[in-house]
Copies of this chain bind each other. A is one copy, B any other.
Amino acid sequence: MYLTQGLHRVVQQRPAGIGTVCAGRVRTHAESADRVARLAAAFRGLGLRDGDRAAILSVNSDRFHESAAATLRAGGVVVPVNYRWSVAEIADSLAEVDARILVADDAFAGLAEEIRAGHGRLAHVVHSGDGPTPEGLHAFEELVAGHEPIEDARRGGDQLAGVFYTGGTTGRSKGVMLSHDNLLTSAMGWLATDGFEPGGVLLYASPMFHLAAFTTWVFSGVLGWTQVMTATYDPLTVATAVQEYEVTDLTLVTTMIQMIVDHPRIGEYDLSSVRRVMYGASPMSDALIARAMTALPNARFIQGYGMTELAPAATILRPADHEDSARRKSVGRAAPHCEVRIVDAADAELPRGKVGEIVVRGGNLMLGYWNRSDETAEALRNGWMHTGDVGWMDDEGYLFLTDRLKDLIISGGENVYSVEVENCLAAHPGVATCAVIGVPDDTWGERVHAVVVPVDGAAVSLEDLRAFCARRIAAYKAPRSLDVVDTLPLSAAGKVLKRELRRPYWERQERAIH
Protein backbone atom coordinates (compact mmCIF):
# COMPACT_ATOMS: atom_id res chain seq x y z
CA MET A 1 0.00 0.00 0.00
CA TYR A 2 1.18 3.53 -0.66
CA LEU A 3 -0.19 6.82 0.59
CA THR A 4 -0.26 8.59 -2.76
CA GLN A 5 -2.44 5.92 -4.38
CA GLY A 6 -5.72 7.60 -3.53
CA LEU A 7 -4.73 10.74 -5.42
CA HIS A 8 -4.36 8.76 -8.63
CA ARG A 9 -7.71 7.12 -8.07
CA VAL A 10 -9.63 10.30 -7.40
CA VAL A 11 -8.18 12.02 -10.47
CA GLN A 12 -9.35 9.04 -12.49
CA GLN A 13 -12.81 8.92 -10.93
CA ARG A 14 -13.75 12.50 -9.99
CA PRO A 15 -11.25 14.88 -11.61
CA ALA A 16 -13.64 17.84 -11.51
CA GLY A 17 -14.76 17.23 -7.94
CA ILE A 18 -13.59 19.60 -5.21
CA GLY A 19 -10.30 18.48 -3.71
CA THR A 20 -9.41 21.24 -1.27
CA VAL A 21 -11.07 24.34 0.13
CA CYS A 22 -8.92 26.77 2.07
CA ALA A 23 -8.80 30.54 2.60
CA GLY A 24 -11.17 31.18 -0.30
CA ARG A 25 -9.19 28.92 -2.66
CA VAL A 26 -11.14 26.03 -4.18
CA ARG A 27 -9.23 23.44 -6.20
CA THR A 28 -10.51 20.41 -8.05
CA HIS A 29 -8.93 17.02 -7.50
CA ALA A 30 -7.24 17.31 -10.91
CA GLU A 31 -5.82 20.77 -10.12
CA SER A 32 -4.72 19.70 -6.67
CA ALA A 33 -2.98 16.58 -8.00
CA ASP A 34 -1.28 18.59 -10.73
CA ARG A 35 0.09 21.01 -8.12
CA VAL A 36 1.29 18.10 -6.01
CA ALA A 37 3.11 16.60 -9.00
CA ARG A 38 4.78 19.96 -9.75
CA LEU A 39 5.73 20.55 -6.13
CA ALA A 40 7.18 17.04 -6.01
CA ALA A 41 9.38 18.00 -8.96
CA ALA A 42 10.42 21.14 -7.10
CA PHE A 43 11.31 19.15 -3.98
CA ARG A 44 13.43 16.79 -6.09
CA GLY A 45 15.02 19.87 -7.61
CA LEU A 46 15.86 21.11 -4.11
CA GLY A 47 17.74 17.88 -3.55
CA LEU A 48 15.15 15.71 -1.82
CA ARG A 49 16.13 12.09 -2.48
CA ASP A 50 14.37 8.81 -1.72
CA GLY A 51 13.83 8.56 2.01
CA ASP A 52 14.91 12.15 2.75
CA ARG A 53 12.84 14.06 5.28
CA ALA A 54 10.79 17.18 4.55
CA ALA A 55 9.22 18.94 7.54
CA ILE A 56 6.02 20.97 7.59
CA LEU A 57 5.57 23.77 10.13
CA SER A 58 2.21 25.24 9.34
CA VAL A 59 -1.32 25.75 10.49
CA ASN A 60 -3.89 23.76 8.56
CA SER A 61 -4.06 24.68 4.89
CA ASP A 62 -4.36 23.25 1.39
CA ARG A 63 -0.61 23.75 1.10
CA PHE A 64 -0.08 21.50 4.13
CA HIS A 65 -1.87 18.80 2.16
CA GLU A 66 0.08 19.57 -1.00
CA SER A 67 3.39 19.59 0.85
CA ALA A 68 2.77 16.22 2.48
CA ALA A 69 1.53 14.62 -0.75
CA ALA A 70 4.38 16.12 -2.80
CA THR A 71 6.97 14.88 -0.31
CA LEU A 72 5.62 11.35 -0.63
CA ARG A 73 5.26 11.58 -4.41
CA ALA A 74 8.88 12.71 -4.58
CA GLY A 75 9.91 9.65 -2.56
CA GLY A 76 10.47 11.56 0.65
CA VAL A 77 9.37 11.22 4.24
CA VAL A 78 6.97 13.69 5.91
CA VAL A 79 7.78 15.25 9.29
CA PRO A 80 4.79 17.25 10.52
CA VAL A 81 5.92 19.67 13.22
CA ASN A 82 3.99 20.56 16.36
CA TYR A 83 3.90 24.34 16.04
CA ARG A 84 3.11 24.75 19.70
CA TRP A 85 6.60 23.69 20.56
CA SER A 86 9.37 26.11 21.43
CA VAL A 87 11.85 26.96 18.68
CA ALA A 88 14.51 24.98 20.51
CA GLU A 89 12.31 21.91 20.59
CA ILE A 90 11.53 22.23 16.87
CA ALA A 91 15.17 22.77 15.87
CA ASP A 92 16.23 19.77 17.96
CA SER A 93 13.74 17.45 16.32
CA LEU A 94 14.54 18.65 12.79
CA ALA A 95 18.24 18.21 13.45
CA GLU A 96 17.62 14.73 14.80
CA VAL A 97 15.75 13.56 11.69
CA ASP A 98 18.10 15.60 9.49
CA ALA A 99 15.28 17.33 7.61
CA ARG A 100 16.49 18.64 4.23
CA ILE A 101 13.49 20.84 3.50
CA LEU A 102 11.21 22.80 5.81
CA VAL A 103 7.87 24.13 4.61
CA ALA A 104 6.77 27.03 6.84
CA ASP A 105 3.78 29.33 6.53
CA ASP A 106 3.40 33.03 7.41
CA ALA A 107 3.14 32.35 11.12
CA PHE A 108 6.39 30.41 11.25
CA ALA A 109 8.59 31.52 8.35
CA GLY A 110 10.01 34.17 10.68
CA LEU A 111 11.42 31.38 12.82
CA ALA A 112 13.35 29.88 9.92
CA GLU A 113 16.65 31.52 10.78
CA GLU A 114 16.41 30.49 14.40
CA ILE A 115 15.56 26.91 13.44
CA ARG A 116 18.39 26.85 10.94
CA ALA A 117 20.74 28.00 13.66
CA GLY A 118 19.82 24.90 15.62
CA HIS A 119 19.95 22.60 12.57
CA GLY A 120 22.80 23.57 10.28
CA ARG A 121 22.05 20.96 7.62
CA LEU A 122 18.56 22.28 6.85
CA ALA A 123 19.16 23.05 3.18
CA HIS A 124 15.96 24.77 2.10
CA VAL A 125 13.01 26.57 3.64
CA VAL A 126 9.88 26.87 1.51
CA HIS A 127 7.50 29.67 2.43
CA SER A 128 3.90 28.47 2.09
CA GLY A 129 2.13 31.55 3.44
CA ASP A 130 0.14 34.17 1.54
CA GLY A 131 2.31 37.08 2.67
CA PRO A 132 5.58 38.18 1.03
CA THR A 133 8.29 35.51 0.99
CA PRO A 134 11.14 36.44 3.33
CA GLU A 135 14.67 36.75 1.97
CA GLY A 136 16.43 33.44 1.51
CA LEU A 137 13.26 31.36 1.40
CA HIS A 138 11.63 29.70 -1.63
CA ALA A 139 8.14 30.88 -2.56
CA PHE A 140 5.70 27.97 -2.63
CA GLU A 141 3.71 29.20 -5.63
CA GLU A 142 6.86 29.90 -7.63
CA LEU A 143 8.01 26.34 -7.06
CA VAL A 144 4.65 24.99 -8.21
CA ALA A 145 4.52 27.23 -11.28
CA GLY A 146 8.15 26.68 -12.18
CA HIS A 147 8.18 22.90 -12.46
CA GLU A 148 6.64 20.28 -14.70
CA PRO A 149 4.79 17.40 -13.02
CA ILE A 150 6.86 14.29 -12.26
CA GLU A 151 5.79 10.68 -11.96
CA ASP A 152 4.98 9.28 -8.55
CA ALA A 153 7.95 7.54 -6.90
CA ARG A 154 5.34 5.17 -5.43
CA ARG A 155 7.33 4.29 -2.36
CA GLY A 156 5.15 2.25 -0.09
CA GLY A 157 4.74 -0.90 1.97
CA ASP A 158 7.21 -1.10 4.84
CA GLN A 159 9.10 1.97 3.69
CA LEU A 160 9.18 4.97 5.98
CA ALA A 161 6.40 7.47 5.24
CA GLY A 162 6.53 9.85 8.18
CA VAL A 163 8.22 10.70 11.45
CA PHE A 164 5.81 11.98 14.08
CA TYR A 165 7.27 13.48 17.24
CA THR A 166 5.63 12.61 20.50
CA GLY A 167 6.45 13.48 24.07
CA GLY A 168 9.07 11.26 25.64
CA THR A 169 9.05 9.57 29.03
CA THR A 170 12.62 10.65 29.53
CA GLY A 171 11.67 14.26 29.01
CA ARG A 172 12.85 14.33 25.40
CA SER A 173 10.51 13.91 22.48
CA LYS A 174 10.81 10.80 20.36
CA GLY A 175 10.34 10.54 16.60
CA VAL A 176 7.87 7.77 15.84
CA MET A 177 8.67 6.17 12.47
CA LEU A 178 5.55 5.08 10.60
CA SER A 179 5.55 3.24 7.29
CA HIS A 180 3.02 3.59 4.48
CA ASP A 181 1.53 0.25 5.54
CA ASN A 182 1.37 1.34 9.21
CA LEU A 183 -0.67 4.43 8.38
CA LEU A 184 -2.85 2.70 5.81
CA THR A 185 -3.49 -0.33 8.01
CA SER A 186 -4.93 1.88 10.73
CA ALA A 187 -6.90 3.93 8.20
CA MET A 188 -8.36 0.87 6.45
CA GLY A 189 -9.33 -0.65 9.80
CA TRP A 190 -11.10 2.57 10.65
CA LEU A 191 -12.92 2.55 7.29
CA ALA A 192 -14.06 -1.03 7.91
CA THR A 193 -16.02 0.06 10.98
CA ASP A 194 -18.65 2.23 9.34
CA GLY A 195 -20.14 2.86 5.92
CA PHE A 196 -17.77 5.57 4.71
CA GLU A 197 -19.25 6.87 1.46
CA PRO A 198 -17.26 8.39 -1.38
CA GLY A 199 -18.01 12.07 -1.77
CA GLY A 200 -17.48 13.02 1.86
CA VAL A 201 -16.41 16.50 2.95
CA LEU A 202 -13.89 16.46 5.77
CA LEU A 203 -13.15 19.45 7.99
CA TYR A 204 -9.96 19.39 10.01
CA ALA A 205 -10.99 20.69 13.41
CA SER A 206 -7.62 20.06 15.00
CA PRO A 207 -4.03 20.60 13.80
CA MET A 208 -3.01 18.36 10.88
CA PHE A 209 0.44 17.80 12.37
CA HIS A 210 -1.24 15.66 15.01
CA LEU A 211 -1.66 12.05 13.99
CA ALA A 212 -5.31 12.18 15.13
CA ALA A 213 -5.94 14.57 12.23
CA PHE A 214 -3.25 13.18 9.95
CA THR A 215 -4.93 9.77 9.98
CA THR A 216 -8.06 11.42 8.63
CA TRP A 217 -5.85 12.89 5.88
CA VAL A 218 -4.80 9.32 5.13
CA PHE A 219 -8.28 7.84 4.88
CA SER A 220 -9.74 10.93 3.25
CA GLY A 221 -7.10 10.31 0.57
CA VAL A 222 -8.11 6.65 0.28
CA LEU A 223 -11.72 7.70 -0.28
CA GLY A 224 -10.99 10.77 -2.41
CA TRP A 225 -12.88 13.15 -0.17
CA THR A 226 -13.05 16.92 -0.24
CA GLN A 227 -10.83 18.47 2.43
CA VAL A 228 -11.67 21.76 4.11
CA MET A 229 -8.90 23.52 6.01
CA THR A 230 -9.19 26.51 8.33
CA ALA A 231 -6.24 28.21 9.97
CA THR A 232 -7.93 28.14 13.35
CA TYR A 233 -10.57 25.83 14.73
CA ASP A 234 -12.42 27.71 17.39
CA PRO A 235 -16.08 26.70 17.71
CA LEU A 236 -17.52 29.37 15.43
CA THR A 237 -14.89 28.87 12.72
CA VAL A 238 -15.78 25.19 12.70
CA ALA A 239 -19.52 25.93 12.66
CA THR A 240 -19.15 28.48 9.87
CA ALA A 241 -17.14 26.10 7.70
CA VAL A 242 -19.55 23.23 8.36
CA GLN A 243 -22.46 25.32 7.21
CA GLU A 244 -20.72 26.91 4.23
CA TYR A 245 -19.16 23.74 2.79
CA GLU A 246 -21.76 21.22 3.97
CA VAL A 247 -19.13 19.30 5.88
CA THR A 248 -20.02 15.65 6.42
CA ASP A 249 -17.18 14.42 8.61
CA LEU A 250 -15.48 15.98 11.61
CA THR A 251 -12.59 14.76 13.72
CA LEU A 252 -12.47 16.31 17.17
CA VAL A 253 -11.04 15.83 20.60
CA THR A 254 -13.72 15.57 23.27
CA THR A 255 -12.78 19.02 24.55
CA MET A 256 -13.60 20.51 21.15
CA ILE A 257 -16.95 18.76 20.97
CA GLN A 258 -17.84 20.33 24.28
CA MET A 259 -16.69 23.78 23.21
CA ILE A 260 -18.74 23.56 20.02
CA VAL A 261 -21.97 22.15 21.38
CA ASP A 262 -21.96 24.42 24.44
CA HIS A 263 -21.20 27.61 22.55
CA PRO A 264 -24.01 30.14 23.14
CA ARG A 265 -24.29 30.99 19.42
CA ILE A 266 -24.13 27.44 18.07
CA GLY A 267 -27.88 27.40 17.44
CA GLU A 268 -27.43 30.04 14.74
CA TYR A 269 -25.61 27.57 12.48
CA ASP A 270 -26.93 24.78 10.28
CA LEU A 271 -24.90 21.72 11.23
CA SER A 272 -27.28 19.22 9.69
CA SER A 273 -24.76 18.14 7.02
CA VAL A 274 -22.53 16.47 9.62
CA ARG A 275 -23.13 12.74 9.42
CA ARG A 276 -20.16 11.55 11.41
CA VAL A 277 -18.12 12.84 14.37
CA MET A 278 -14.90 11.01 15.09
CA TYR A 279 -13.39 11.84 18.43
CA GLY A 280 -10.81 10.70 20.90
CA ALA A 281 -8.52 11.58 23.80
CA SER A 282 -11.24 11.05 26.43
CA PRO A 283 -14.73 9.53 26.69
CA MET A 284 -17.84 11.69 26.56
CA SER A 285 -20.06 12.00 29.61
CA ASP A 286 -23.74 11.13 29.28
CA ALA A 287 -24.66 14.78 29.55
CA LEU A 288 -22.20 15.83 26.83
CA ILE A 289 -23.24 13.14 24.41
CA ALA A 290 -26.88 14.14 24.82
CA ARG A 291 -26.03 17.77 24.09
CA ALA A 292 -23.85 16.76 21.13
CA MET A 293 -26.58 14.64 19.61
CA THR A 294 -28.94 17.60 19.83
CA ALA A 295 -26.48 20.03 18.28
CA LEU A 296 -25.48 17.56 15.53
CA PRO A 297 -28.76 15.82 14.83
CA ASN A 298 -27.61 13.73 11.85
CA ALA A 299 -24.22 12.69 13.20
CA ARG A 300 -23.04 9.23 14.14
CA PHE A 301 -20.34 9.23 16.81
CA ILE A 302 -17.20 7.11 16.61
CA GLN A 303 -14.53 7.16 19.29
CA GLY A 304 -10.98 6.05 18.73
CA TYR A 305 -8.29 5.22 21.25
CA GLY A 306 -4.72 4.87 20.24
CA MET A 307 -1.39 6.57 20.09
CA THR A 308 1.18 7.77 17.60
CA GLU A 309 3.07 4.49 17.89
CA LEU A 310 -0.08 2.69 16.68
CA ALA A 311 -0.51 4.84 13.57
CA PRO A 312 -2.78 5.63 15.57
CA ALA A 313 -5.93 3.52 16.14
CA ALA A 314 -6.10 0.58 18.55
CA THR A 315 -9.73 0.46 19.66
CA ILE A 316 -12.93 1.87 18.24
CA LEU A 317 -16.24 2.64 19.92
CA ARG A 318 -18.77 2.27 17.12
CA PRO A 319 -21.88 4.38 16.62
CA ALA A 320 -24.13 1.58 17.92
CA ASP A 321 -21.99 1.28 21.07
CA HIS A 322 -22.89 4.87 21.92
CA GLU A 323 -26.45 3.84 22.67
CA ASP A 324 -25.28 2.08 25.85
CA SER A 325 -24.29 4.39 28.67
CA ALA A 326 -21.94 1.83 30.28
CA ARG A 327 -20.13 1.17 27.00
CA ARG A 328 -19.74 4.88 26.38
CA LYS A 329 -17.38 4.96 29.35
CA SER A 330 -15.13 2.53 27.50
CA VAL A 331 -12.87 3.35 24.56
CA GLY A 332 -14.46 0.56 22.51
CA ARG A 333 -13.05 -2.70 21.27
CA ALA A 334 -10.00 -3.81 19.30
CA ALA A 335 -10.19 -2.30 15.81
CA PRO A 336 -10.45 -4.60 12.76
CA HIS A 337 -6.73 -4.26 12.09
CA CYS A 338 -5.19 -5.17 15.45
CA GLU A 339 -5.22 -7.21 18.63
CA VAL A 340 -5.46 -5.71 22.09
CA ARG A 341 -4.61 -7.44 25.37
CA ILE A 342 -4.28 -6.65 29.06
CA VAL A 343 -1.06 -8.09 30.46
CA ASP A 344 0.86 -8.25 33.71
CA ALA A 345 4.42 -7.11 34.22
CA ALA A 346 5.68 -10.41 32.77
CA ASP A 347 3.57 -9.90 29.61
CA ALA A 348 1.19 -12.73 30.54
CA GLU A 349 -2.40 -12.07 29.50
CA LEU A 350 -4.67 -11.26 32.44
CA PRO A 351 -8.22 -12.59 32.91
CA ARG A 352 -11.08 -10.36 31.83
CA GLY A 353 -11.81 -7.65 34.41
CA LYS A 354 -8.28 -7.54 35.80
CA VAL A 355 -6.34 -4.30 35.54
CA GLY A 356 -3.02 -4.34 33.72
CA GLU A 357 -1.03 -2.74 30.93
CA ILE A 358 -2.67 -2.42 27.52
CA VAL A 359 -0.60 -3.97 24.74
CA VAL A 360 -1.38 -3.97 21.02
CA ARG A 361 -0.27 -6.02 18.01
CA GLY A 362 -0.94 -5.62 14.32
CA GLY A 363 0.19 -4.13 11.04
CA ASN A 364 -0.18 -0.67 12.57
CA LEU A 365 2.77 -1.02 14.97
CA MET A 366 5.41 1.66 14.30
CA LEU A 367 8.70 0.73 12.68
CA GLY A 368 10.35 2.19 15.80
CA TYR A 369 11.63 5.40 17.38
CA TRP A 370 14.06 7.40 15.27
CA ASN A 371 17.60 6.54 16.33
CA ARG A 372 16.48 4.92 19.58
CA SER A 373 16.87 1.21 19.22
CA ASP A 374 16.83 0.53 22.95
CA GLU A 375 13.59 2.39 23.55
CA THR A 376 12.11 0.77 20.43
CA ALA A 377 13.02 -2.72 21.64
CA GLU A 378 11.59 -1.94 25.06
CA ALA A 379 8.31 -0.56 23.66
CA LEU A 380 7.84 -3.41 21.17
CA ARG A 381 9.09 -6.28 23.31
CA ASN A 382 7.65 -9.70 22.45
CA GLY A 383 6.10 -8.23 19.33
CA TRP A 384 3.52 -6.13 21.16
CA MET A 385 3.42 -2.35 21.56
CA HIS A 386 3.43 -1.61 25.27
CA THR A 387 1.21 1.45 25.47
CA GLY A 388 2.02 2.42 29.03
CA ASP A 389 -1.71 2.84 29.53
CA VAL A 390 -3.45 0.83 32.20
CA GLY A 391 -6.93 -0.58 31.90
CA TRP A 392 -9.20 -3.59 31.96
CA MET A 393 -11.45 -5.33 29.51
CA ASP A 394 -14.96 -6.61 29.98
CA ASP A 395 -16.36 -9.95 28.79
CA GLU A 396 -17.20 -8.52 25.39
CA GLY A 397 -13.80 -6.98 24.79
CA TYR A 398 -14.67 -3.40 25.68
CA LEU A 399 -11.60 -1.62 26.98
CA PHE A 400 -11.72 0.73 29.96
CA LEU A 401 -8.78 3.00 30.72
CA THR A 402 -7.90 3.52 34.36
CA ASP A 403 -4.45 4.99 34.56
CA ARG A 404 -1.24 5.57 32.72
CA LEU A 405 2.07 3.93 33.47
CA LYS A 406 4.01 6.54 31.63
CA ASP A 407 2.95 9.62 33.53
CA LEU A 408 1.24 10.97 30.48
CA ILE A 409 -1.29 13.79 30.75
CA ILE A 410 -3.67 14.34 27.84
CA SER A 411 -4.83 17.93 28.00
CA GLY A 412 -7.03 19.26 25.22
CA GLY A 413 -5.82 16.43 23.00
CA GLU A 414 -2.12 17.24 23.52
CA ASN A 415 0.21 14.75 25.17
CA VAL A 416 2.16 16.15 28.09
CA TYR A 417 4.72 14.01 29.84
CA SER A 418 5.01 14.84 33.54
CA VAL A 419 8.74 14.37 33.59
CA GLU A 420 9.31 17.07 31.01
CA VAL A 421 7.34 19.60 33.03
CA GLU A 422 9.01 18.45 36.24
CA ASN A 423 12.44 18.92 34.70
CA CYS A 424 11.47 22.46 33.77
CA LEU A 425 9.98 23.35 37.16
CA ALA A 426 12.93 21.85 39.02
CA ALA A 427 15.16 24.43 37.35
CA HIS A 428 13.20 27.23 39.02
CA PRO A 429 15.21 28.69 41.93
CA GLY A 430 12.23 28.59 44.30
CA VAL A 431 11.41 24.90 43.70
CA ALA A 432 12.96 22.31 45.98
CA THR A 433 11.19 19.31 44.52
CA CYS A 434 7.99 18.78 42.61
CA ALA A 435 5.62 16.36 40.96
CA VAL A 436 3.36 16.98 37.99
CA ILE A 437 0.11 15.08 37.49
CA GLY A 438 -2.97 15.23 35.33
CA VAL A 439 -6.22 16.07 37.08
CA PRO A 440 -9.76 16.11 35.67
CA ASP A 441 -10.80 19.32 34.00
CA ASP A 442 -14.14 20.17 32.47
CA THR A 443 -12.60 22.05 29.57
CA TRP A 444 -9.37 20.19 28.85
CA GLY A 445 -10.30 16.67 29.85
CA GLU A 446 -7.20 16.73 32.01
CA ARG A 447 -5.12 19.68 33.07
CA VAL A 448 -1.48 19.85 34.05
CA HIS A 449 -1.28 20.19 37.82
CA ALA A 450 1.92 20.84 39.76
CA VAL A 451 2.60 19.84 43.36
CA VAL A 452 5.61 21.79 44.58
CA VAL A 453 7.77 21.71 47.71
CA PRO A 454 9.39 25.16 47.82
CA VAL A 455 12.93 25.98 48.85
CA ASP A 456 12.92 27.08 52.49
CA GLY A 457 11.43 30.52 52.75
CA ALA A 458 10.67 30.89 49.05
CA ALA A 459 7.23 32.00 47.86
CA VAL A 460 6.09 30.12 44.76
CA SER A 461 3.06 31.18 42.72
CA LEU A 462 1.34 29.65 39.73
CA GLU A 463 1.88 32.82 37.68
CA ASP A 464 5.55 32.82 38.51
CA LEU A 465 5.94 29.15 37.48
CA ARG A 466 3.99 29.62 34.25
CA ALA A 467 6.11 32.59 33.28
CA PHE A 468 9.21 30.53 33.99
CA CYS A 469 7.92 27.66 31.81
CA ALA A 470 6.91 29.95 28.96
CA ARG A 471 10.51 30.49 27.91
CA ARG A 472 11.36 26.78 28.04
CA ILE A 473 8.48 24.54 26.99
CA ALA A 474 5.28 24.76 24.96
CA ALA A 475 2.53 26.77 26.64
CA TYR A 476 0.16 23.80 26.80
CA LYS A 477 2.67 21.91 28.94
CA ALA A 478 2.82 24.56 31.68
CA PRO A 479 0.88 23.86 34.90
CA ARG A 480 -2.64 25.28 35.05
CA SER A 481 -3.00 24.69 38.80
CA LEU A 482 -0.71 24.35 41.77
CA ASP A 483 -0.55 22.83 45.23
CA VAL A 484 2.26 23.99 47.50
CA VAL A 485 3.12 21.29 50.06
CA ASP A 486 5.75 20.53 52.67
CA THR A 487 6.60 17.04 51.50
CA LEU A 488 5.73 14.64 48.69
CA PRO A 489 4.52 11.10 49.49
CA LEU A 490 7.35 8.70 48.75
CA SER A 491 7.58 4.96 48.26
CA ALA A 492 10.00 2.86 50.26
CA ALA A 493 12.34 3.14 47.29
CA GLY A 494 12.08 6.93 47.43
CA LYS A 495 9.87 7.31 44.36
CA VAL A 496 7.10 9.88 44.43
CA LEU A 497 3.77 8.09 44.85
CA LYS A 498 1.85 9.88 42.15
CA ARG A 499 -1.21 7.75 42.64
CA GLU A 500 -1.47 9.23 46.13
CA LEU A 501 -1.37 12.70 44.65
CA ARG A 502 -3.88 11.89 41.94
CA ARG A 503 -6.38 9.99 44.08
CA PRO A 504 -8.34 12.88 45.65
CA TYR A 505 -8.87 14.53 42.26
CA TRP A 506 -9.95 11.40 40.43
CA GLU A 507 -12.17 10.16 43.27
CA ARG A 508 -14.14 13.35 43.04
CA GLN A 509 -14.38 12.79 39.27
CA GLU A 510 -15.69 9.26 39.72
CA ARG A 511 -18.43 10.58 41.95
CA ALA A 512 -19.25 13.25 39.43
CA ILE A 513 -19.60 10.70 36.63
CA HIS A 514 -21.63 8.08 38.46
Contact = CB atoms under 8 A, between A and B. Distances in A.
A8 B222 contact: no
A172 interface: no
A363 to B, nearest CB: 4
A406 interface: no
Interface string A407-428: 0000000000000000000000
Contact of A13 (B154, B195, B396): B396
A334 B188 contact: no
26 contacts: A1-B185, A2-B363, A5-B338, A5-B339, A6-B336, A8-B339, A9-B333, A9-B397, A12-B333, A12-B334, A12-B393, A13-B333, A13-B396, A14-B397, A15-B395, A154-B383, A156-B363, A157-B158, A188-B189, A188-B336, A191-B191, A191-B336, A192-B196, A192-B222, A198-B318, A223-B336
A194 B195 contact: yes
Contacts of A157: 158, 363
A223 B192 contact: yes
Contacts of A12: 333-334, 340, 393, 397
A27 interface: no
A337 interface: yes
A309 interface: no
A384 to B, nearest CB: 10
A337 B188 contact: yes
A151 to B, nearest CB: 11
A334 B196 contact: no
B362 A5 contact: yes
Nearest to A199: B320
B181 A192 contact: no
A449 to B, nearest CB: 35
Contacts of A2: 363
Contacts of A5: 337-339, 361-362
With most chain B CB atoms within 10 A of its CB, the pick from A15, A156, A196, A336 is A336
B334 A13 contact: yes
Nearest to A6: B336
A415 B239 CA distance: 54
Nearest to A340: B12
Contacts of A194: 195
Integer count of this chain's copies in the complex:
2
What 9 A-B pairs are tightest by C-beta distance, nearest first? Answer: A195-B195, A13-B397, A191-B192, A1-B363, A188-B188, A12-B397, A9-B334, A8-B339, A222-B336
Interface residues of A, number: 43
Interface string A282-326: 000000000000000000000000000000000000100000000
Interface string A175-215: 00000010011001101101110100000000000000000
Contacts of A337: 1, 5, 188
Contacts of A156: 363
Interface in A159-183: 181
A306 to B, nearest CB: 16
Contacts of A338: 5
A71 to B, nearest CB: 20
A48 B363 CA distance: 25
Interface in A333-386: 333-334, 336-340, 361-363, 383
A238 to B, nearest CB: 26
Interface in A127-143: none
Contacts of A192: 188, 191-192, 196, 222-223
Contacts of A334: 9, 12-13
Nearest to A17: B396
Taking each of A2, A158, A192, A393, which has the highest tally of chain B beta carbons within 10 Å of its own beta carbon? A192
Nearest to A9: B334
Nearest to A195: B195
A15 B198 CA distance: 34
A14 B340 CA distance: 14
A340 B11 CA distance: 12
Nearest to A180: B363
Contacts of A13: 333-334, 396-397
